[in-house]
Amino acid sequence: MIQKKIIKKHPLAIRWFHWINFPVLGVMIWSGLLIYWANDVYKIGFGSTTLLKFFPTSFYEVFKIPYRLSEGMAYHFLFMWLFFLNGIAYVLYTIFSGEWKLLMPNRKSFKEAWQVLLHDLHIRKSKPPQGKYNAAQRIAYSAIILMGIGSIISGLAIYKPVQLLWLCNLLGGYKMARIFHFALTIGYVLFFMVHLMQVILAGWNNFRAMVTGFEVKKQIKDTGNVSEIPDAE
Amino acid sequence: MLNKTIIGMSNFIKNIFSKDRNLNVEQLIQKKTILSFTFFIAFAAFAFWGWKWLRNQPTESGKTSVPLRKVLNANEKIFSGILSDKHLAKTFPVSKAVNSARVNGYLGMNNNFDPSTWMMNVIKATGDTLKLNLDDIKKLPKTEIVFNFKCIEGWSQITYWGGIKFSDFIKAYNLDTEAAKKFLGLRTPDNGYYVGIDMPSALHPQTLLCYELNGKPLPMNQGYPLRLIIPVKYGVKSLKRIGDMFFSDSKPPDYWADEKGYDYYLGL
């Protein structure tokens, strides 16, 4: 006989922080694009060869980016507060609730993260250990916090490069601080794409947990013996 | 069929309102899921409504709406607190400066300008106008600066300027009453470009009334004969070719803030 069990997974606070951050970061990236367009000098390439220009004209046109610098700045400098306050609240919560213990990579994480990658790419069959978060998740979700801190620091350095000259110097100067700020944003977009794919692959039970807070575990109940069935993926 | 649907729905509603201990696991999962997702969708709808509200606010100046303008002004209040005469823009050796400084705009640079008749009009608190020519300005001690000029568009350039400190100018012409006002206003002779600057930023030791670029008189397209260079602001505040200078406790007109919706303060 199969029995279902409700297991608490994500605390309410973390669900709030996550779902507030999602649209806020979206607005920050959009308004950042409006700003970046006014001097869109970054590209990936070598010598005189450009492999990827940030961004192609068609991209700007699709998202209606051109000639909106003042609008972009106005939105960026409003939503920066929401991004900052929500981020601070999240970090403080993880510290004081003890959630950080489930989130921070430990000694085993870097080795195990490799196993997660191989497993996800269907190269390795056996499943790597999965607590609340597996090793790859621990690394990714901790890195994204560091990236958020990096965005705030590099953002402040660009915002007040004279009054906070020390901060600007710390990042290698004004131009370098701008590059960091931009690169981190590209990082968020890449993170989001992988994250979204993983959420889709992990399925309903996992996604529901981010909204409801609980996960459903199935158990086979024989005469007295209880054994867990791994989630259907 | 219809009967079944109605019974199903009424059971479902009963589940949501009944106490948890009366429900089996399956019903409990259903109840918790429905409740959470209802809140979740309500939150999303609220966020969406808030966004629509913000997008539909009437614009006050330029393209910036009233609430966004309020936030820009609130940010000014917060960040003008760290403005200090001790915080200086980083300076560089002359060798680091570019040979030809970028010319990014021609607003206020009317072609009919006659340099031989140019005078700067300093409108004093008494209402009198102090008229000064370039020689009057050059009499004051010269100050040079090589710094990274930052455009609001995002580019920056290390440029080499020479002129007199604005604070020296205030002292030399006994403009202390004027400098006690909250704002400095500047206009080009053709009134095509105008800026307002908070007085603490104007009096910052690196703010120059500038008549030289790379050791030579300013080129026409860089605002000959006299322009402002203010490293604690984005380049849009460094008005070229000063015609009138005035002082006021209310915000003087500012082209980019009034016409184009930019932040008024633009402090760096």
Tell me: the pLDDT tens digits for B245-264?
Answer: 999 999 999 999 998 899 99
Separation of alpha carbons A199 and A193, rounded Å: 10
Confidence tier at B228 by pLDDT (50, 70, 90): very high
pLDDT attached to residue A229: 58
pLDDT attached to residue A223: 58
pLDDT attached to residue B112: 85
Identify residue A203 by its one-letter amino acid code.
Answer: G
CATH of span B91-99+117-258:
3.90.420.10
DSSP label at residue B59: E
pLDDT attached to residue A233: 38
Enter the tokens of residue B8: 């199903």
Residues whose CB falls within 8 Å of the CB of residue B256, separated by 6 or more in sequence, listed in order: A70, B62, B152, B195, B236, B262, B266
Distances (CA, A) of B184 to B125, B163, B177, B254: 12, 18, 12, 11
Tell me: the pLDDT tens digits for B118-165?
Answer: 999 999 988 899 999 999 999 999 999 999 999 999 999 999 999 999
Q: How many helices (H) and strands (E) does chain B have?
A: 8, 12
pLDDT attached to residue B62: 61
Q: What angle do CA B219, B220, B226 make, to 5 degrees?
A: 85
Residues whose CB falls within 8 Å of the CB of residue B124, separated by 6 or more in sequence, listed in order: B130, B175, B177, B178
pLDDT attached to residue B194: 97
Identify residue B6 by its one-letter amino acid code.
Answer: I
**Contact flag A23-B51 (C-beta cutoff 8 Å):** yes
Asked whether the predicted pLDDT for residue B49 surpasses 60, the reply is yes
Q: How many CB atoms lie within 10 A of CB B27?
A: 17
Separation of alpha carbons B255 and B69, rounded Å: 15
Domains of chain A listed by start with CATH number: 2-39+70-229 (1.20.950.20)
Q: Which residue, among A22, A163, A178, A211, would best test binding to B if mutated, counting the most B CBs under 10 Å from its CB? A: A163
**Contact flag B40-A23 (C-beta cutoff 8 Å):** no
Domain coordinates of chain B in residue numbers? 2-55, 91-99+117-258
Tell me: the pLDDT tens digits for B205-226?
Answer: 999 999 999 999 999 999 999 9
In terms of DSSP H, where are the helices of A37-68?
Answer: 57-62
A204-212 helix and A174-202 helix, angle to the nearest 10 degrees: 120
CA distance A110 to chain B (A): 35
pLDDT attached to residue A231: 53
A179 or B25: which leads in pLDDT: A179
Note whether B205 and B264 are within 8 A (CB). no
Separation of alpha carbons B205 and B202, rounded Å: 8
**Contact flag A212-B32 (C-beta cutoff 8 Å):** yes
pLDDT attached to residue B61: 60
pLDDT attached to residue A232: 44
Average pLDDT, chain A: 89
Mean pLDDT by 10 residues, chain A (233 residues): 84 94 96 95 87 91 94 96 97 91 82 81 78 82 94 96 96 95 96 93 91 87 60 45
| CA end-to-end span of chain A | 21
Tell me: the pLDDT tens digits for B168-209?
Answer: 999 999 999 999 999 999 999 999 999 999 999 999 999 999
A41 touches chain B (CB under 8 A): yes
